[in-house]
Amino acid sequence: MKNYSNLGVFKSKGRLFHEPVNLYRSDFQRDRDRIIHSSSFRRLKHKTQVFVNTIGDHYRTRITHSIEVAQIARSICKYLKLNDDLGETLSLAHDLGHPPFGHAGEDALNECMKQHGGFNHNIQTLRIVMNLDKKYLNFNGLNLTIDTLDGLIKHNGPILSKPNRFKNIVGFDKLLKKINLKKSPSLEAQISSISDNIAYNNHDIQDGITANIFNLKDLREINFFDDIYKKFKHKFVGKDMNIVLFQIIRDSINLMVKDLINNTILNIKKNKIKNTNDVYNSKEPLVTFSNKFLNVEREIKDFLKYNMYNNSKVLKKNNHGKKVLRYLFKKVSKNPSKYFKLNNSRISMLRETTDYLSGMTDRYALNLYKKIK
């Protein structure tokens, strides 16, 4: 087990609103717990991952996906002796801003708000944790640490252009004085981002086979999965297909995590990374797959796009989700006070309407659509 604790974020930069130290939990444990206890996190259980939540109980939802991402990120951070609490927190929070109907819902809301700043689920996550999730006496939002907010903003890399995209986030000006958007994210944030890819690439395959959208024979067209199948073929005789599939996905995740860890260590050595400042000043990502596994990942994404995301049944459900959100946006924005309490803040009425719609679960949006249609 490698020890790169000197590269991890263990000392918090504090919070935007000062709070006394907790004697029993670190700042990052408190961040994680605030995410878990938030209403936004709870609602993820009824939000689409790939399959609309009403289709069946055996498919991933946003909440199960987030938990699986957190497990992978925590394991990697723990092995490298980084801050696994921070890695877990970022992973649990990364999809809080997703609207109903997954990326189809995001596309619909972005289209509706095209002339008013658009809609992006990553930015919506920040709006939620910094303002919208209200439950504390002394501040709006969850008042997460500066380090967690920095990781949420930059988990896909530094922000080198269009910083005005964050203008609709209440309190962001204050945060900008504490962080540098052009610096690279922490190793924990980078790990969370790649863990997201590992989770959805593998679990979307598992859900796709479970839904009979494609089968194991189709999957074996990818050499990576064919090699895994051949490795365990002698043990698969007479076994239930669910066990066979689980073993293949399990081994796939293990191989990806192993490659990611080994290649990240090589990157740290190659770039002579000695401390967290070196991490932040790095001009390239440090947490990456090897070239071999980058090709594997690309092949898996192409397979999923062709066989699953563009499948007629999936597209039909997604297109209906878009239709529902477009209609709700049109109706609710005409008379928002009929549906929710306006804040009368400096945020536009249309942005508040988008906050309201994006916070819905699939089920709630569908029921409201049927009610007012």
In a domain? residue 192: no
SS3 187: helix
In a domain? residue 202: no
Asked whether residue 162 falls in the same domain as residue 308, the answer is: no
Specify whether the CB–CB gap between 128 and 148 falls below 8 A: no
In a domain? residue 191: no
Mark residue 331 as left, alpha or beta (left: phi above 0; alpha: psi -120 to 50; beta: remaining). Answer: alpha
Asked whether residue 285 falls in the same domain as residue 144, the answer is: no
Predicted local confidence at residue 159, as pLDDT: 87
Predicted local confidence at residue 64, as pLDDT: 93
Task: Count up the domains in the chain and report the number.
Answer: 2
Give the domain range for residue 216: 209-313
Cα-based torsion angle of the residue sequence 326, 331, 335, 338 in order, rounded to the nearest 10 degrees = -100
In a domain? residue 40: yes
Distance CA 207, CA 199 (A): 12
Asked whether residue 18 falls in the same domain as residue 152, the answer is: yes
Q: Could you tell me the sign of the dihedral formed by the alpha carbons of 253, 255, 261, 266, in that order?
A: negative
Asked whether residue 99 falls in the same domain as residue 240, the answer is: no
What CATH number should be reported for the domain holding residue 14? 1.10.3210.10
Asked whether residue 65 falls in the same domain as residue 105, the answer is: yes
Predicted local confidence at residue 53, as pLDDT: 53
In a domain? residue 350: yes
In a domain? residue 198: no
- Nearest CA to 176 out of 185, 184, 167 is that of 167
In a domain? residue 196: no
Give the residue from 262, 283, 313 where a domain finishes: 313
Asked whether residue 309 falls in the same domain as residue 175, the answer is: no
- Nearest CA to 153 out of 172, 131, 136 is that of 172
Asked whether residue 50 falls in the same domain as residue 98, the answer is: yes
Specify whether the CB–CB gap between 112 and 353 falls below 8 A: no
Asked whether residue 255 falls in the same domain as residue 109, the answer is: no
CB-neighbour burial class of residue 362 (10 A; exposed 0-12, middle 13-18, buried 19+): buried
Specify whether the CB–CB gap between 185 and 149 falls below 8 A: no
Asked whether residue 136 falls in the same domain as residue 220, the answer is: no
Give the residue from 295, 313, 331 where a domain finishes: 313
- Nearest CA to 318 out of 309, 305, 327, 330 is that of 309
Asked whether residue 224 falls in the same domain as residue 143, the answer is: no
Distance CA 189, CA 199 (A): 15
Give the residue from 313, 334, 352 where a domain finishes: 313
Asked whether residue 93 falls in the same domain as residue 238, the answer is: no
Cα-to-chain-centroid distance, residue 227: 29
Predicted local confidence at residue 168, as pLDDT: 66
List of the chain residues with pLDDT < 50: none
Q: Which backbone phi and psi does 48 adopt, to 5 degrees?
A: -60, 135
Predicted local confidence at residue 238, as pLDDT: 76
Alpha helix ranges (H) inside the chain:
27-36, 39-43, 62-79, 84-93, 102-112, 121-127, 146-154, 172-176, 187-210, 216-219, 223-236, 241-270, 276-281, 291-304, 312-334, 349-358, 362-372
In a domain? residue 201: no
Specify whether the CB–CB gap between 52 and 117 falls below 8 A: no
Asked whether residue 326 falls in the same domain as residue 215, the answer is: no
Distance CA 40, CA 84 (A): 22
